[in-house]
Structure 1
Amino acid sequence: MNGLYALKPWYADRLSGLRRALAARQVSPDTLTAAGVGCAAGAAAALAWLPAPLAALPVAVLLAARLAFANLDGALARDTGRTTRRGALLNELGDRTGDLLVIAGFLPLAPLWLVAAAAFASTLPSWISLAGAAAGAPRRNGGPVGKTERCLLAVVAAASGWAVPVLAVVAAGSAVTAVLRAVWVWRVLGRPGADVATGKAAATEKAEVTGEVVAAVAMATAEATETAEATATTEIPVAEPPAPAPATTPVTRRRPTPSPTLNSPPPRPDRGLPLDPGEVSGSITHTRPQSPADRGTQLRGTR
């Protein structure tokens, strides 16, 4: 049932050198996806505008390049670690757009209804494969008339001019391929353990997130362990308590009491009274004149 899709590993090996060169130049996988769409548009233009014998070479070259870019974008993303969910969506949209562009090249060569039927039928196998993958089944590719076979039939139409027969084969063969894929997906989902396979994508994401969390916890634990070991092996100096200060007896200072002088009068209890002129004030002695009687008395006392 794989058809020409079985040659994909061989074709990928032939492109390994080109893939390494693109990786060395850091080419984006999205750029390759866009280049594949451009090649499909160029092949459709050559098929529509060039006569039958002359259109074969450019259509063959451009469709071969389209298949090469369709193979390289996903492989380059895996090799360089740039696989993203947006990239996967862009890859699918690019493939479907390329399919429709190639069929659109038959518009000047066949009835409109036949072109529309072939365009609708050519996308059915891919939609069924995507629906099966979303339900948990493996992605199914290939078939009697898959993408590679449709490109080959377009080259045949460009070389022979048999646009109507080729479109009929594309429409019928794509419908048969879609039915065969649908039957295969139905059987896979009906097997025991299909419920487990249904949550494969969610489980994968959860496992990745859990792995990151476990790695972060392990790193934090290791750092904490190293810090604890370093703290345990480090001698921390213990500060000695300060020696108590010697007890001192407070010294009470008393104001010196002035010694009385010979000529100092005794203290007066009442300071409110006026001083006698004969009293002592400070260091100056005030005396009053002595009478002759007083002098006689002192002379008698000294004898």
Structure 2
Amino acid sequence: MDGLYALKPWYAARLGGVRATLARRRVSPDAVTAAGVAAGAAAGAALALVRPGPLAGVLVALLLAARLACANLDGALARETGRTSPWGSVVNELGDRVAELAVLAGCLALAPAWLVASAALAATLPSWASLAGAAAGGPRPQGGPAGKTERCLLLALIAFTGWASPLLAVIAAGSVLTAAVRLARIRRSL
């Protein structure tokens, strides 16, 4: 049940040239993480300020593609350039959470605050489950029925359609299910 996460190796290969350029220019992995947060915040602003439809959909989709590219590049760049560190891992995780919450905050212009807050809280659960498993010495499962990539796709659909409430409910329920699937994987391995 890796979902769209199964495409990560293919996507990472497509970003190889960008990663090599960043390495040559000695760009910090933390700067790439910050760029991902900025892309997430810009996607949230677009959700809030651009009327749902093709323009909003394309804009949000492009910004979320940039956010996912940064999420893929920061760790790979750190490994490739020998700049991995425990603190860099913390920055990476915090950056991922902040970027996603910033995108979801844009939905406050389209849906009730309680629903946006529920989706935002639920969207953090898959990562917390994976991090808890890793902290216990188990695997750190990724993907799932509503992993990060699927949630980005759903947010782009919100921008295209304006169907914020039903799609936020899908994000919330799918995130809870994803966390449960990851916890089951972790439990079996421990």
Q: TM-score under structure 1 normalisation?
A: 0.62
Matches within 5 A, 1:109-258: 109-189=110-190
Q: How far off its partner does 1:103 sit?
A: 1.1
Q: How far off its partner does 1:13 sit?
A: 0.3
Residue matched to 1:63? 64
Residue type at the aligned position of 1:3: G
Measure, in 2, the Cα distance between the counterparts of 1:162 and 1:100: 19
Q: Deviations over 1:105-133 (max 9, x none)?
A: 11011111111110110000000100000
Measure, in 2, the Cα distance between the counterparts of 1:147 and 1:27: 25
**Counterpart check, 1:22 vs 2:22:** yes
Residue type at the aligned position of 1:33: T
Residue type at the aligned position of 1:129: S
Q: Which moved more, 1:39-48 or 1:97-106?
A: 97-106
Q: How far off its partner does 1:21 sit?
A: 0.8
Measure, in 1, the Cα distance between the counterparts of 2:25 and 2:10: 24
Decide which structure has the larger Cα Rg and report it: 1
Residue matched to 2:98? 97
Residue matched to 2:46? 46
Q: Deviations over 1:201-246 (max 9, x none)?
A: xxxxxxxxxxxxxxxxxxxxxxxxxxxxxxxxxxxxxxxxxxxxxx
The residue matched to 1:77 in structure 2 has which SS?
Answer: helix
Q: Deviations over 1:149-190 (max 9, x none)?
A: 00000111100110111101000000100111111111111x
Q: How far off its partner does 1:32 sit?
A: 0.1
Residue type at the aligned position of 1:8: K
Measure, in 2, the Cα distance between the counterparts of 1:59 and 1:185: 33
Residue type at the aligned position of 1:44: G
Residue type at the aligned position of 1:17: G
The residue matched to 1:137 in structure 2 has which SS?
Answer: coil
Residue matched to 1:80? 81
Q: What's the % identity of the aligned pairs?
A: 65
Query: Which stretches in structure 1 are left out of the alignment for 5+ residues?
Result: 190-303
Measure, in 2, the Cα distance between the counterparts of 1:166 and 1:48: 15
Measure, in 1, the Cα distance between the counterparts of 2:128 and 2:27: 29
Across the two proteins, how many residue pairs are aligned to each other? 189
Residue matched to 2:9? 9
Q: TM-score under structure 2 normalisation?
A: 0.98
The residue matched to 1:52 in structure 2 has which SS?
Answer: coil
Residue matched to 1:35? 35
Pick 1 or 2: higher relative contact order, CA cutoff 8 A, min separation 6: 2
Measure, in 1, the Cα distance between the counterparts of 2:100 and 2:47: 14
Q: Segments of 4+ in structure 1 off by > 4 A? A: none
Q: How far off its partner does 1:58 sit?
A: 1.0
Measure, in 1, the Cα distance between the counterparts of 2:139 and 2:104: 28
Measure, in 1, the Cα distance between the counterparts of 2:121 and 2:161: 24
Q: How far off its partner does 1:90 sit?
A: 0.2
Q: Deviations over 1:237-276 (max 9, x none)?
A: xxxxxxxxxxxxxxxxxxxxxxxxxxxxxxxxxxxxxxxx
Query: Which stretches in structure 2 are left out of the alignment for 5+ residues?
Result: none
Measure, in 2, the Cα distance between the counterparts of 1:186 and 1:99: 27
The residue matched to 2:151 in structure 1 has which SS?
Answer: helix
The residue matched to 2:109 in structure 1 has which SS?
Answer: coil
Q: How far off its partner does 1:12 sit?
A: 0.3
Q: What RMSD in Å do the two structures reach over aligned CA positions? A: 0.6
Residue type at the aligned position of 1:60: A
Measure, in 1, the Cα distance between the counterparts of 2:65 and 2:166: 22
Measure, in 1, the Cα distance between the counterparts of 2:4 and 2:15: 17
